Amino acid sequence: MKKVTLIIAVLIMTASLSLAQWVNQGAWPANSPQPKGQNHALAVDPEGKVWVGWWGPKTKFGVAPGDTLTKSVYLIFVFKPDGTQASFSPIWRLDGPNFRDTLYTTNRGMRTNVDGNILMVTGNTPTPNYMYMIDYKTGKALKRVQLKWTPAAPAVAKTSKVIFVAPVVGSPTTPIEMYDQDFKFIGNALDKTSSFSRSFEVSADGNTIYWAGYTLGKVFIYTRADEFSSFALKDSIMAGVAAESFTWHPVKKDQLWISGGSNNDKPKPPFTMGTWYAYDVKQKKVVDSLKWKYADATKPDERPRALDFSPDGKIAYIGSFGTATSDLVQKVVSGGSGIEKLDEIPVGYQLSQNYPNPFNPTTNIKFSIPKEGFVSLKVYNSIGQEVATLVNEFKSAGSYQVDFEATNLTSGVYVYTLSAGNYKMSKKMILMK
């Protein structure tokens, strides 16, 4: 009986914990020779290597003895999980059967194929546009196919193994095409597209397309009954986003991660710029989120254009297209939950006084929200500068508590502010060392 009671208690305690809290560790890899900004593609292979496509061209970078370059090339960096570069990184030329292509045209997007190899698309009108299959173990190109228009990052159906390719610039004459694993053209999934796209996704069976031209302000869902049927618009989700990147979580397979928008194409509430959201396609709601760390929060120009996860799903690698001052890649780690959901029924929006107060160096803050939504809990110093973000994600209705640890802060008065829906409240606390 005692054992049963203990098991039940453990289950209740486990259930009371909220979703994993993502901690942005900043630029990755540390002390890397990688350039700044302008990330145009990112994929993680089965070995955990991170493939990054850089938009900015570089002249005569990584040229082997005896080789010469007369023009600037676009680079693919390949980093091992420890942050060091793979032996074949950076890639500036793709050697394949019957072709040798120097990367004179930009990388437009990457995706990990069902066999672990890397699908990469290049192009920039009027230059040729290609899709390549790259061996993730050697960096050598296995095959290529020429495309009719400048492509966005491809999408792959995990079980049917069909590869979908879409255009950057949508129009009545630019369709979403389908290819098999040998790069043989199957047909059009959609005969026409609209707006501008950098990425999209498809379901595992290839019978659902999640499409978002980022100026359309939502994600459109196209479905078909089977591989012999035509796609038709079924629904739309995430109204308010300006999505530029999509990725399925490798472990929580119902979670489709979608970027919210940027300062250039601003999302509408409750979505915020520089944030990726996990949309659960079965629950039909947002269940998690993680955020980009801006180089300059007063002038954010980074566009959230790339996201992929480590094979175990515990690390997210994110990239943004921005200026030379922004990071090329940031590493975000799931460190368990630092937020505990309490067994209390909320009666409304509430923010409690921290306890203890004064404190040194840790204090506890409780808050309640009567309905689900995006919640932000931030700490500011006496001159209004943000010093900590304790919560910044979608939460279900309930009461929560979170610890604030201020070891690296100086003694003084701090303000913590809860924002949820239309509710906003602040309280003061004193750090006394």
pLDDT for position 68: 63
pLDDT-derived band at 32 (thresholds 50, 70, 90) equals low
Q: Average of pLDDT values for 186-214?
A: 95
What is the spatial distance between Cα 175 and Cα 189, in angstroms, rounded to a whole number?
7
Hey, what long-range contacts does 132-138 have (CB within 8 A, 24 or more apart)?
A: 132/94, 132/96, 132/101, 133/183, 134/91, 134/94, 136/45, 136/46, 136/47, 136/49, 136/51, 136/112, 137/47, 138/88
pLDDT at 282: 95
pLDDT at 245: 95
Q: What is the pLDDT of residues 298-332, one digit of tens each?
A: 788 899 999 999 998 989 999 999 876 788 899 99
115-149 pLDDT per residue, tens: 999 999 998 766 789 999 999 999 999 999 999 99
- pLDDT above 70: percentage of residues in the chain: 89
pTM comes to: 0.76
Confidence tier at 381 by pLDDT (50, 70, 90) = very high
d(CA 163, CA 48): 22
Q: Assess whether pLDDT exceeds 80 at residue 189.
A: yes
The CA distance from 259 to 273, in Å, is 8
What's the CA dihedral at 185, 189, 195, 197 to 10 degrees?
A: -60
Report the C-alpha gap between 192 and 177 in whole angstroms. 10
**Domains, the chain, ranges and CATH?**
19-334 (2.120.10.30), 338-431 (2.60.40.1930)
pLDDT band at 106 (very low <50, low <70, confident <90, very high): confident
pLDDT over 70 at 367, yes or no: yes
Residues 6+ apart with CB under 8 A from 181: 113, 114, 115, 161, 163
Supply the pLDDT for residue 71: 75
Residue 20 has pLDDT above 80, yes or no: no
Cβ neighbours for 188, distance < 8 A, ≥ 6 positions apart: 175, 176, 177, 178
Task: Report the percent of the chain where pLDDT is more than 90.
Answer: 64
For residue 374, pLDDT over 90 is answered with no
pLDDT at position 231: 98
Residue 1 is predicted with a pLDDT of 44
φ, ψ for residue 344, nearest 5 deg: -130, 140
User: Which residue, among 414, 372, 368, has the nearest Cα to 396 in the 3D structure?
Assistant: 372
Split at pLDDT 50, 70, 90, the class of 8 is: very low
pLDDT exceeds 50 at position 6 = no
Phi, psi of 8 (to 5 degrees): -60, -40
Query: In the predicted model, what is the mean pLDDT of residues 17-23?
Result: 55
SS3 category, 313: coil
